[in-house]
Copies of this chain bind each other. A is one copy, B any other.
Amino acid sequence: MDNHLLQTAGQLFLDSQRVLLVSHIRPDGDAVGSLLGLGLALQAIGKDTQMILADGVPKSFRHLPGSDQIHKNPEGNFDLVVVLDCSDIQRVGPVLDGYPQPDLNIDHHITNLNFGRINLVDTKAVSTTEILAEHFQVLGLPLTRPVAATLLTGLITDTLGFRTANMTPKALRIAANLMEAGANIYTLYQQALFTRSLQAARYWGSGLATIQLEDRMLWATLTLKDREEANYPGRDDADLINILTTINGVDVALIFIEQKNNKVKVSWRAQPGFDVSEIALQFGGGGHKPAAGAEIEGSIEEVRIKVLAATRDLLNGKIKY
């Protein structure tokens, strides 16, 4: 990343007194981690900060230092506005309505629109916290122990524990630096990635008991009854799909999740070489090549028959891409 840009950003931090920091709706570990990492570091050099997430802090990240300082709406005036981990400004939700263009846009998404006055965008970074950690010194920020913990959390969650296809040697070395700055990888990993409720685990159980494999297509079904019996509060699959994709010999995994009002949510996950977003699109949904979803009218049996037929066509090479 351009050193001049970094120095300009560092000067902005120095010259500011009231800093507004914002990240995206439905926040993940990198949203919360980058927000807290930068916010706590700015506090450590004497700045007033407001850290904002339109949807608040998810339960699974409330152990992080400073998370109780995150609010849902900004109040008052600021002389610096920083947006973290957002590819476009809409991702922050309504919290910046009425504010001018953000001063700083710090992000790692390849789709970033460079919407800030200054854009620190590195699409090779595995997380926004990796960008912060790499350049903390040039930015004039102190890597304290709480800051290191929040930054390492973003790195762990966005890489699902150092195992995504975009992993780099640099990301591992930065994780090592954050450990040396005091972040406990064992505890943070547990807290960030292993936060299953009893209800979610029971709900998983009912789904796993139903799985079927046909050639290299695997599917599971979660009914409204399963959800009630497990007392699971969500409308989703509780991330069961991530277990399905780790089963041997599977090219495409699907989950059918029964909804109220005669609808079924369908999720697809595929190995490299398949494009499930095409099928999701056929059914009015969307997504990416390896991961897609749709909500489809019909009973669970009807939807399953139609969707499995379309997915079979994909696997049989009838859909080219």
Contacts and interface: CB of A to CB of B under 8 A. Distances in A.
Q: Which range holds the interface residue count of chain A?
A: 35 or more
A209 interface: yes
Contact of A205 (B167, B186, B196, B208): B208
Nearest to A185: B167
A272 B116 CA distance: 46
Interface in A291-317: none
A79 to B, nearest CB: 37
Interface string A233-255: 00000000001101111000000
A161 B207 CA distance: 26
9 contacts: A161-B163, A162-B162, A167-B186, A169-B177, A172-B172, A190-B246, A197-B248, A198-B248, A198-B249
Interface of A: 161-165, 167-170, 172-173, 175-177, 179-180, 185-186, 189-190, 194-198, 201-202, 204-211, 213, 218, 243-244, 246-249
Given A162-B189, A164-B186, A197-B248, 18 more contacts: A162-B175, A163-B186, A165-B186, A168-B179, A172-B176, A173-B173, A190-B246, A196-B248, A197-B247, A198-B211, A198-B218, A201-B247, A202-B208, A202-B211, A204-B205, A204-B208, A205-B208, A205-B210
